[in-house]
Amino acid sequence: MFCFQCEQTMGGTGCTGRAGMCGKSAPAAKLQDELTGALIGLARTAAANAPTSKTNRIILEGLFTTITNVNFDVATIQLMIDKVNAEKDTISPNSDVNYDVEQIWNDNEDVRSLKSLILFGIRGIAAYAYHALMLDYTDKEVDAFFLKALTALGENWGMNELLPIVMETGKANLACMELLDKANTETYGTPQPTSVPLTIEKGPFIVISGHDLHDLKLLLDQTNGKGINIYTHGEMLPAHAYPLLKKYPHLKGNFGTAWQNQQKEFDNIPGPILFTTNCLMPVRSSYADRVFTTEVVSYPEIVHIDDTKDYTPVIEKALELGGYAEAQHFTGINGGATVMTGFGHGTVLAVADTVVDAVKAGAIRHFFLVGGCDGARPGRNYYTDFVKKAPADTVILTLACGKYRFNDLDLGTIGGLPRIMDMGQCNDAYSAIKVAIALAKAFNCSVNDLPLSLVLSWYEQKAVCILLTLLYLGIQNIYLGPTLPAFVSPNVLSYLVENFHLTPITTPEEDLKKILG
């Protein structure tokens, strides 16, 4: 096998051998490559015809399936390949246009690097487009871009042809995050600042993980009045802030911290866990009987909830396990009993005048966006230390699952606003972008001239498409860690450093000094 799409890749170069660091087996990795080759074939076929909504959905599912920590199951990956090939045959029978993805892995390192940025980027976008689709929101331009990008991956192109498509990947993701923001807020309302308990009350409960709010809504409806409490996990935490979700009294709080701690946190948990998306880790026997998957998430021998969305098996498991006998007062990593979320663009821009005044009066010296994925590498303490060491006249905006390292800290307030503001899931990077653009307008300067620095952590492919969006917007001086992607070749890296001043993180002290002068 060969796979180097995520931050924990073996030796910082690529997973090979019998399984990847994430637990994905060599046969699963090989089938994911075959699936990608089939998707290129489908895109080539569909581009020449008018693609239908069915074709578009299959492309989203296929790409989403290959994201890190989503699908570990050869049987369901094979079914996905069959689905892609069947769709291609319906459009154009007997067309032999599938592509061998190994050609990309074996290409010269710069072409491989650019094609990886495109491929991993569209995998991330596909996840966001999929969540929007679940709420019946689609975007023709985004759908068209998947075909364009997949087709480009199969072309014998060089740097000059591929580089513009890399930037276009960032543009397509911006449109897609905007679409998902619209889908989420029009369906569930504008997120409001909300304090979320980390205590698990006594009695039956279900933990729901991943990014899909639609699944949460359906689960809340199906458990209504059944004496079962619902707790979010990981990237589902920001759901508490949406008015139409928070109105359910049995949506009680949040269980656990970021994804990489799940094997420890789920050990013997007396309730089931439903995974709607990544990040699923190899399931340990102490809780394997209580893990459920849905959508494109799949793991061998784990019960899957299909598109009928009948959660009865999860509900029955919750009642059978019965929950804790007494309330469990869990805390965050730093000992906090609650965490805050809900500072999306709607909330922050509503107090834009206060923010602008605080900057003008010198009460706020600088904004940091400390956001992105979490992961298991030791170097990720950087982000906790960075937040702890940021001076008291600075504000920390955050998003995605990396925030669990510091979101239970009480860092006080500035001008009535908490110093740490959680903007939401990784896709809510859209909120951060909207706020940055609005502040730039208020100060009559460019985003790069704002007292704002982006200190980002990456792990999987959604972080790749978000980074490409920031580059597409011309945002400079991004600090990126904990390590740089293995798929960025030295030439591509120098291009990014020269044109965007992309900077690898060093130490919190040094980077803070550099930023604040």
Q: Which positions make up the binding site for hybrid [4Fe-2O-2S] cluster? A: 211, 235, 279, 373, 401, 426, 460, 462
Order of all β-strands in the sheet with 394-398: 420-422, 394-398, 366-372, 452-457, 479-481, 503-504
Q: Does 314 interact with ligand FS2 (rule: CB under 6 A)?
A: no
Minimal distance, residue 488 CB to ligand SF4, in Å: 14
Residue type, 150: L
Task: Using alpha carbons, select from 459, 378, 467 the residue that is nearest to residue 69.
Answer: 459
Task: Using alpha carbons, select from 202, 209, 208 the residue that is nearest to residue 227.
Answer: 202
Task: Using alpha carbons, select from 419, 412, 418 the residue that is nearest to residue 394.
Answer: 419
Q: Using an 8 Å Cβ cutoff, are 277 and 212 in contact?
A: yes
Binds ligand FS2 by CB under 6 A, chosen from 9, 278, 407, 469: 278
State which residue, 42 or 456, has the beta carbon closest to ligand FS2.
Answer: 456
Minimal distance, residue 200 CB to ligand FS2, in Å: 20
Q: Does 6 interact with ligand SF4 (rule: CB under 6 A)?
A: yes
Q: Binding site for [4Fe-4S] cluster: what residues are annotated?
A: 3, 6, 15, 22
Minimal distance, residue 258 CB to ligand FS2, in Å: 7
Q: How many of the chain's residues bind ligand FS2 (CB under 6 A)?
A: 15
State which residue, 99 or 299, has the beta carbon closest to ligand FS2.
Answer: 299
Q: Using an 8 Å Cβ cutoff, are 394 and 370 in contact?
A: no
State which residue, 24 or 217, has the beta carbon closest to ligand SF4.
Answer: 24
| Other CB atoms within 10 A of residue 52 CB | 13
Q: For residue 149, give the 3-state DSSP assignment.
A: helix
Q: Using an 8 Å Cβ cutoff, are 197 and 338 in contact?
A: yes
Select from 16-24, 105-113, 271-279, 283-291 the region that touches ligand SF4 (CB under 6 A).
Answer: 16-24
Residues 325 and 356: their CA atoms lie apart, in Å, by 49
Minimal distance, residue 370 CB to ligand FS2, in Å: 13
Select from 8-16, 108-116, 425-433, 496-504 the region that touches ligand SF4 (CB under 6 A).
Answer: 8-16
Select from 29-37, 309-317, 441-449, 458-466 the region that touches ligand FS2 (CB under 6 A).
Answer: 458-466
What secondary structure letter does DSSP report for 480?
A: E
Select from 15-23, 85-93, 96-104, 134-142 the region that touches ligand SF4 (CB under 6 A).
Answer: 15-23
**What residues from 388 to 447 belong to the interface with ligand FS2 (CB under 6 A)?**
400-401, 425-426
Q: Does 281 interact with ligand SF4 (rule: CB under 6 A)?
A: no
Minimal distance, residue 11 CB to ligand SF4, in Å: 10
Residue matched to tokens 């040094």: 510
CB hemisphere CA count around 64 (13 angstroms): 27
Select from 21-29, 85-93, 412-420, 454-462 the region that touches ligand FS2 (CB under 6 A).
Answer: 454-462
| Other CB atoms within 10 A of residue 246 CB | 18
Q: Is the peptide bond before 279 cis (omega within 30 degrees of 0)?
A: yes
State the distance between the two ends of the chain, measured CA to CA, in whole angstroms. 46
**Residue 227 phi, psi (nearest 5):** 75, 25
Site string for ligand SF4, 17-36 (x = CB under 6 A): ---xxx-x----x-------
Site string for ligand FS2, 351-390 (x = CB under 6 A): ----------------------xx----------------
| 259-287 as b/e: b if 16+ CB within 10 A | bbbbeebbeebbbbbbbbbbbbbebeeeb
- Quote the longest CA-to-CA distance of the chain: 69
Contacts of 403 (CB under 8 A, 6+ apart): 370, 371, 422
Q: Which residue is nearest to ligand SF4 (CB)?
A: 20
Q: Does 5 interact with ligand SF4 (rule: CB under 6 A)?
A: yes
Site string for ligand SF4, 58-87 (x = CB under 6 A): ----------x-------------------
Q: Does 460 interact with ligand FS2 (rule: CB under 6 A)?
A: yes
Residues 110 and 158: their CA atoms lie apart, in Å, by 8
Task: Retrieve residue 482's tokens.
Answer: 């904990």
Select from 97-105, 130-138, 382-390, 455-463 the region that touches ligand FS2 (CB under 6 A).
Answer: 455-463
CB hemisphere CA count around 41 (13 angstroms): 27
**What residues from 225 to 254 belong to the interface with ligand FS2 (CB under 6 A)?**
234-235
Q: Does 123 interact with ligand SF4 (rule: CB under 6 A)?
A: no
Residues that bind ligand FS2 (CB under 6 A): 211, 234-235, 259, 278-279, 373-374, 400-401, 425-426, 459-460, 462
Return residues touching ligand SF4 (CB under 6 A): 3-6, 8-9, 15, 20-22, 24, 29, 68
